[in-house]
Amino acid sequence: MIKEFKEFVMKGNVLDMAVGIIIGASFGKVVTSFVNDVMMPPIGLLLGKVDFGNLFINLSGKSFESLADAKKVGAATLNYGLFLNTTVDFLIVGFAIFLLVRQVNRLKRQAPPAVPVTRECPFCFTDIPVKATRCPHCTSALAQV
């Protein structure tokens, strides 16, 4: 059973998938950092010095200065600022995946199907040119394809 598992894990598709997942997770972290640390602060500044990571609706009835303070005491909150950040993360990652898939599909469409240049003689089973009417090896007459 261990041998079968090792063979399964060592197949190319499984390793490729594992590499893709690891790179995808890293890409997600980079996008999250980009959104939280680079993109949203200037947008918040343009909208009146708003910190999107600190936007929340307090459901507990008590007053808190920040989301961190509310979380410290375990107050119930709706964290719509964090939701906005996550939504922007999703849109960026989704757009990047869309561009990747679009490029892969474009490359697949451009590759013309391979036209065979040889065929097998039905009598002697050697490879001969597609346009041949007689096999050069066994001299059998061939039907045109």
**Domains of the chain by residue range:** 2-111, 114-145
pLDDT band at 43 (very low <50, low <70, confident <90, very high): confident
Residue 70, both tokens: 């509310």
Residue 15, classed as helix, strand or coil, is helix
Nearest to 52 by CA among 32, 87, 81: 81
> What is the reported pTM?
0.55
* 78 three-class SS: strand
pLDDT at residue 127, as a whole number: 93
Q: What are the two backbone dihedrals, phi and then psi, of residue 139, each rounded to the nearest 5 degrees?
A: 60, 20
In tens, the pLDDT along 11-28 reads 767 777 787 888 888 888
Q: Using one digit for the tens of pLDDT, what is the confidence trace for 46-94?
A: 877 777 778 888 888 888 888 888 888 888 888 888 888 888 888 888 8
pLDDT of residue 111: 67
Residues near 135 by beta carbon (within 8 Å), at least 6 away in sequence = 121, 123, 124, 126, 128, 142
Task: Supply the DSSP symbol for 77.
Answer: E
145/31: higher pLDDT: 31
Half-sphere exposure of 118 (CA within 13 A, CB side): 8
Q: What is the pLDDT of residue 145?
A: 65
HEC string of 112-132?
CCCCCCEEECCCCCCEEECCC
At residue 12, the pLDDT reads: 64
The fold of the 2-111 domain, in CATH, is 1.10.1200
Q: Give mean pLDDT, residues 107-120.
A: 81
